[in-house]
Amino acid sequence: MAAEAKIKCSVGLTGNSAVAYAMKQINPDVVAAYPITPSTTIVEEFSGYVADGKVDTEFVTVESEHSAMSACIGASAAGARVMTATSSQGLALMWEMLYIASGMRLPIVMTCVNRALSAPLNIHCDHSDSMGARDSGWIQLYSETVQEAYDNVIQAVRIAEQENILLPVMVCLDGFITSHSIENLCLLDDDVIKKFIGEYKPSQPSLLDVDHPTTYGAVALPDSYMEARRQQAEAMTLSKDVIINAAKDFEKISGRSYGLMEKYRMDDADAAIVILNSAAGTTKVAVDEMRNKGLKVGLLKPRVFRPFPYIEMAEALKNVKVIGVLDRADSYTSFGGPLFTEIRSSLYELDKRPKIINRIFGLGGRDYGVKDSLAVFEELLKIKDMGKIDKVYDYISVRE
């Protein structure tokens, strides 16, 4: 078959439709979910596929996100391939179960459509939800576009289920901005995806294996708890190579290349913005405008936030003179957002460390436009010229 026949390009889908379609193609054994804006239509459309007999999935409707994740955990421990989706308060309600999913090493794949957390109540995009879950032991992949969200969901299944990893994976995309915007994207053939993800065969006896009865979720007292946690840390460390390898294989079937991060016009950049998800697209436009004026600026867009690729991050940023990390969430440390503190820490080993500032932007869906991006670049170049930083941590696009 010709390569073109395998890839359907120029299909217009919203981020949520693309994720739902990827889930249909993956055809998981179990999906347990509870609807929450802006992730709702993923599950809504997927339930349509279930009702139409397009998938073999057991679709479990539950009364809350806590139960959704609980049902996912039970199903995954029973040996099923499991997926779900959520946002914001829904993710927050899953909190205790997120740690159980990762601690029990269950390769659940969940899409998190990023949305602000209450209070004040807000349904629009920021990264407070997934950033809050950054220490829950889940691998986290971030997606700039609808295409990336689709591609990440497919790769997530492969990454999660690797025998030496067995960790849950969260695929993040921006609420409304990506989830509800229609973009053209290329879809892969069902068969190609099936081959790429393979069949999920748990290497250990599952809960339903009556010939090999096992206990999942047993108590581990001080004499054994730490060994389990040490194993989890190892799996997270090993997952970096697994993510890279999955991306390499994915490129072979899709022609699209992914890594731990995307570097945009970074080669000789004096100033760089580091930013996640859809805002990276906006920033690229600003980079091009600045470059047209002969100003050496670039963009670094992390794709993998957990595990945090600190070596590659330092490598990518070591020749930049001034870095602006833009966080779409605050950690309320009074020092900076989550992306900032970790990138700043990654640079510590460098002999010559770049100057670095943090700007909190876009909370609760506050618009981030090209002009905002340009303003940050101008500030960065000013710092480069003056050689000093006025404020390390601040908010932008906020009314004074």
Partner 1 sequence: MKKGWKETPIRGIILEAGSAHEYSTGGWRKLKPVFDRTKCIDCMFCWVFCPDSAVIVEKGKMIGFDLEHCKGCGICAMECPDKVKAITMVEEEKEKK
> Which residues contact partner 1 (rule: CB under 8 A)?
103-106, 166, 204-205, 212-218, 220, 223-224, 226-228, 230-231, 234-235
Question: Residue 373 phi/psi, 5° resolution?
Answer: -65, -45
Cα-flanking dihedrals φ and ψ of residue 295, to 5°? -90, 135
CB half-sphere exposure, 359, CA atoms < 13 A: 22
Query: C-beta of 212: minimal distance to partner 1 in Å?
Result: 7
Q: Residue 77 or 322: which CB sits closer to partner 1?
A: 77
* Structural element, H or E, at residue 63: none
Residue 129 CA to residue 301 CA, distance in Å, equals: 19
Please report how close the Cβ of residue 98 comes to partner 1 at its closest, in angstroms: 16
Closest approach, Cβ 109 to partner 1, in A, equals 17
Reference 250, options 22, 11, 31; nearest CA is 22
Give the nearest distance from C-beta 228 to partner 1 in angstroms: 5
In the complex with partner 1, which residue's Cβ is closer, 118 or 224?
224
Q: Minimum CB separation from partner 1 for residue 164, in Å?
A: 9
Return the number of the residue (214 or 245) whose C-beta is nearest partner 1: 214
Cβ contact 85:22 at 8 Å: no
In 255-337, which ranges are continuous DSSP H helix? 279-292, 310-317
| CB 139 to partner 1: min, Å | 16
Task: Choose between 217 and 255: whose C-beta lies nearer to partner 1.
Answer: 217
Q: Which is nearer to partner 1, 64 or 224 (CB)?
A: 224
Positive or negative: CA dihedral 279, 284, 285, 291: positive
Query: What contacts 137, CB < 8 A, 6 or more positions away?
Result: 98, 99, 102, 103, 167, 168, 232, 236
Instruction: Quote the least distance from Cβ 106 to partner 1, whole Å.
Output: 8
**Which CB sits closer to partner 1, 14 or 76?**
76
Calpha distance 102→291 (Å, rounded): 43
Q: In terms of CB distance, is 225 or 335 closer to partner 1?
A: 225
Nearer to partner 1, 166 or 376 (CB): 166
Alpha-carbon gap, residue 396 to 168, rounded angstroms: 34
CA dist., res. 57 & res. 161, Å (int): 18
Enclosing H/E stretch for 328: none
- Please say which residue, 10 or 215, places its beta carbon nearer to partner 1: 215
Please state, in angstroms and as integers, the Cα–Cα distance from residue 150 to each residue in 15, 125, 179, 185, following that order: 8, 19, 11, 9
**Smallest distance from partner 1 to CB 206, Å:** 10
CA atoms within 13 A on the CB side of 63: 0
Rounded Cα distance between 112 and 129, Å, is 8
The distance of closest approach from Cβ of residue 156 to partner 1 in the complex, given in angstroms and rounded to an integer, is 19
- Paired strand residues for 48: none
